[in-house]
Chain A
């Protein structure tokens, strides 16, 4: 069986690839640059004797990413797990982005994950497999930063809710991790109001949960309290929040 990781070249995705290789999964790794993917594949092969395949694909410039992933799987064992730690945010996402940049953010954070899930769904249902999505604390409540990103992540959360509703009882496990801050290049140099988790630590929890039933939860778990507070802050307080 193949485990597909979309957004595997850095941060959480790379940590997931490592964790899955250690657990002897055969992998298909997806990201945009073949140089990153081949380096990761070689390393996982040498350190963990893992079978690793790669697909270099710019998700912001591909009309049907799902079809491309499906085609790459044609020669491989059927997929039983799909993990989507793909994402992008930008500092200038403050409502002033042009159409092209907005389209790219939506493509990477929403359109690509949805189309890939849809393309792989029949095989995942057949395998009674698992699909794992990643949301963000940014989506808890819309703010003046990360406007398109937060909207996309909230959209993705909605899609995963629907997926779970549609397929509950059919053997497909639908897992959604609403992530707090991670120590990756997405947050490098930012002044964060709360501590950032190490991708390796989150990855090991995600992989440990793969066999569990469907869920939608915060990771690390204590972010649930933060999200609750943000969601319930009175407007006059929330309005002044900067971070």
Chain B
């Protein structure tokens, strides 16, 4: 395919984090700049960052997968202004550790520390309190991108602004991002974490709204009929003195987690796990910033427990106005269909919805379920999708493998415009993943 020194492709089996999508792919691992330019302009390709999306967003069986792991270098740091330029393959966990060591941090980091900066931009990820800090786009000042046709381009809010904007929740379509300039904020040395018990998801929303300014703010809830929505809102405030008690540090959650041979999240397993989560939620105290930002490092066994049939995470952002009605209807569906929901997470959003980004004003619920292809589970997911659409919900495309092309125009009133705003920068559909195909992007 290319004669450039060092160009190589390997045939590799890739899988999405939720195990819903697998494909044998041709994977390139560019480790020098000329190798980013090595593919013929018309060769179908897709960029892969950390590869830790729940869905198959960074591979397809007939696209060359350009894996950015080697482009993980820190390029420039301004310790006065808190500006950091990095290569797009740098992992958010590594970037966070570096920034914290200099007294700075990124206010928006997703739950998986191995997500790359490119992946965080391409999915416009949210962090621990999107109502306060917005999404990733609020913290990026510039992007350097390699476009298959146009070559190297510099993008920013005042430089090719449409192309810059398209990169956020662009899912790799607007081109291969190679470098980004990030805006950091002064770091908290530690967070003081507290939990407030809630009896249901409506109460959860009230607690979320009343703590909108907390740097860390999210809820964990039981999804079982009879206990639906019971849980806790966890909030974290910057600790005054920065001291932390004895705190076990966990290694970063790996990209791929070997599944247990059986699905642990049957009804008994879910009951036991909910008890454990409840117990953990109410542990209060001061926690080092890095640990508070990546609590899922402790969740390796939780993800392994989904077994080889995997999981589904359906995340919907419901407007405040229809939220309570949605929750009531959902609870009724849970009572009727009795799905196995391993956990529900809640977050508050107060942003502006743009394109396909997961943003807006309302409450987001992420509902995790084992064995999504099992008949009863699939029926519930279908019904959840319908309910969410009826109530004006906005789906998170980077998380939910159950979404289909036909569903999207019903969720995004300006679907065609949003898709055209991305494909404008790739009219030949050179950038394609299993996800962009499934969703007709």
Interface of B is mostly: mixed
User: Smallest CB-CB separation from B6: which chain A residue?
Assistant: A185
What's the Cα separation between A38 and B35 when bound, in Å?
A: 16
What's the Cα separation between A186 and B35 when bound, in Å?
A: 13
User: Smallest CB-CB separation from A34: which chain B residue?
Assistant: B33
Known: A42-B74, A42-B75, A46-B77. A33 touches B34 (CB 8 A): yes
**A40: Cβ under 8 A from any B Cβ:** yes
Known: A33-B32, A33-B33, A185-B29. A10 touches B74 (CB 8 A): no
The answer to whether B9 touches A189 (Cβ under 8 A) is yes
Which residues of A line the B interface, CB within 8 A? 9-11, 14, 33, 35-36, 39-40, 42-43, 46-47, 88, 184-186, 188-190
What's the Cα separation between A185 and B6 when bound, in Å?
A: 6
Which residues of B line the A interface, CB within 8 A? 5-11, 29, 31-35, 70-71, 73-77, 87, 98
A22 CB to nearest chain B CB (Å): 14
In the complex, chain A residues whose CB is within 8 Å of the CB of B71: 39
The answer to whether B98 touches A10 (Cβ under 8 A) is no
In the complex, chain B residues whose CB is within 8 Å of the CB of A186: 6, 8
The answer to whether B31 touches A11 (Cβ under 8 A) is yes
Known: A14-B31, A33-B32. A188 touches B10 (CB 8 A): yes
Q: Which of A35, A40, A186, A190 has the largest number of chain B CB atoms within 10 A?
A: A35
In the complex, chain A residues whose CB is within 8 Å of the CB of B34: 33
The answer to whether A10 touches B6 (Cβ under 8 A) is yes
What's the Cα separation between A188 and B71 when bound, in Å?
A: 17
A90 CB to nearest chain B CB (Å): 8
7 contacts between A and B (CB under 8 A): A14-B31, A39-B71, A39-B73, A46-B75, A46-B98, A47-B74, A189-B8
B278 CB to nearest chain A CB (Å): 40
Beyond contacts A43-B75, A47-B74: 16 other A-B pairs, Cβ-Cβ < 8 A, are A9-B31, A10-B70, A33-B32, A36-B32, A39-B73, A40-B73, A43-B74, A46-B77, A88-B5, A184-B31, A185-B6, A185-B35, A186-B8, A188-B29, A189-B9, A189-B10
In the complex, chain A residues whose CB is within 8 Å of the CB of B35: 185
What's the Cα separation between A182 and B8 when bound, in Å?
A: 14
A163 CB to nearest chain B CB (Å): 27
What's the Cα separation between A190 and B8 when bound, in Å?
A: 9
The answer to whether A36 touches B33 (Cβ under 8 A) is yes
The answer to whether A47 touches B98 (Cβ under 8 A) is yes
The answer to whether B87 touches A39 (Cβ under 8 A) is yes
In the complex, chain B residues whose CB is within 8 Å of the CB of A40: 73
B368 CB to nearest chain A CB (Å): 34
What's the Cα separation between A39 and B70 when bound, in Å?
A: 11
| Cβ contact of B73, chosen from A11, A33, A43, A184, cutoff 8 A | A43
What's the Cα separation between A35 and B87 when bound, in Å?
A: 12
A38 CB to nearest chain B CB (Å): 8
What's the Cα separation between A88 and B5 when bound, in Å?
A: 8
A152 CB to nearest chain B CB (Å): 15
User: Smallest CB-CB separation from A183: which chain B residue?
Assistant: B29
Known: A10-B70, A189-B11. A39 touches B5 (CB 8 A): no
The answer to whether B31 touches A185 (Cβ under 8 A) is yes
What's the Cα separation between A88 and B77 when bound, in Å?
A: 34
By Cβ-Cβ distance, the 7 closest A-B pairs, closest first, are: A189-B10, A43-B73, A188-B8, A35-B33, A10-B31, A46-B74, A185-B6
User: Smallest CB-CB separation from B101: which chain A residue?
Assistant: A47
